[in-house]
Chain A
Amino acid sequence: EAGVTQFPSHSVIEKGQTVTLRCDPISGHDNLYWYRRVMGKEIKFLLHFVKESKQDESGMPNNRFLAERTGGTYSTLKVQPAELEDSGVYFCASSQERGRAEAFFGQGTRLTVV
């Protein structure tokens, strides 16, 4: 069974450009989460999907970030326009159920804004 897959693994863009990160969760996992780790800081929650619906987007930094999950399958996280402080590693995770169930993480996308 394939794990959580994230594309691209690395992205370097200039300030003001747009970047779209993609996450393919484990098949059958209704719950999908996005997290971000800024250098030197802890991993922080961004948002949570249940199927195609956003359940909790309390961690989204600002309206330059837009997440979607088409048809409850893969998810995209778009940053437009990117700023220097958006640099970091973006992780996606999926789980079958919330709470006690294990969340499976992707390898992350390292975003560098220059």
Chain B
Amino acid sequence: AQSVTQLGSHVSVSEGALVLLRCNYSSSVPPYLFWYVQYPNQGLQLLLKYTSAATLVKGINGFEAEFKKSETSFHLTKPSAHMSDAAEYFCAVSDRGSSNTGKLIFGQGTTLQVKP
């Protein structure tokens, strides 16, 4: 069965510092991988996705993530944090097999705090 682990339920960085949010997955075959963000009082918004093209994926708002099959990881990074990046971030996987229904398996979420 697929699973997703996000290391660290809370991450705090200073404005301008590197953002690194960790995500590891467990799957029998490399799945589709997604990062979603939830700002306060809003729904989930897609940041980026990996669907088997380039392993380094660039998303919105300066975020990017690298798919590393050998490490079963899909960590999210941003070189310089902005105050507006404060939100909760979710890593998710979706089966790419023939039985794929498109349902997402989510990690526990990581709340990013950005300090001035």
Contacts and interface: CB of A to CB of B under 8 A. Distances in A.
The B contact surface, by secondary structure, is loop
A74 interface: no
B89 to A, nearest CB: 12
Interface in B17-66: 32, 34, 36, 41-46, 49, 51-52
Interface in A93-114: 93, 95, 97-108
Given A4-B43, A100-B49, A45 B105 contact: yes
A43 B91 CA distance: 10
Contact of A91 (B41, B44, B101, B109): B44
B36 A100 contact: no
Contact of A105 (B43, B95, B105): B43
A42 to B, nearest CB: 5
B101 A105 contact: no
A46 B93 CA distance: 15
Contact of B51 (A4, A48, A100, A104): A100
B109 A99 contact: no
A33 B90 CA distance: 17
B102 A102 contact: no
Nearest to B95: A99
A106 B42 CA distance: 8
Contacts of B103: 33, 45, 48, 56, 59
A45 B43 contact: no
Nearest to A3: B43
A44 interface: yes
By Cβ-Cβ distance, the 10 closest A-B pairs, closest first, are A98-B102, A100-B51, A105-B44, A107-B43, A43-B106, A105-B43, A45-B103, A42-B108, A99-B100, A42-B106
Interface of A: 3-4, 31, 33, 35, 41-45, 48, 55-56, 59, 91, 93, 95, 97-108
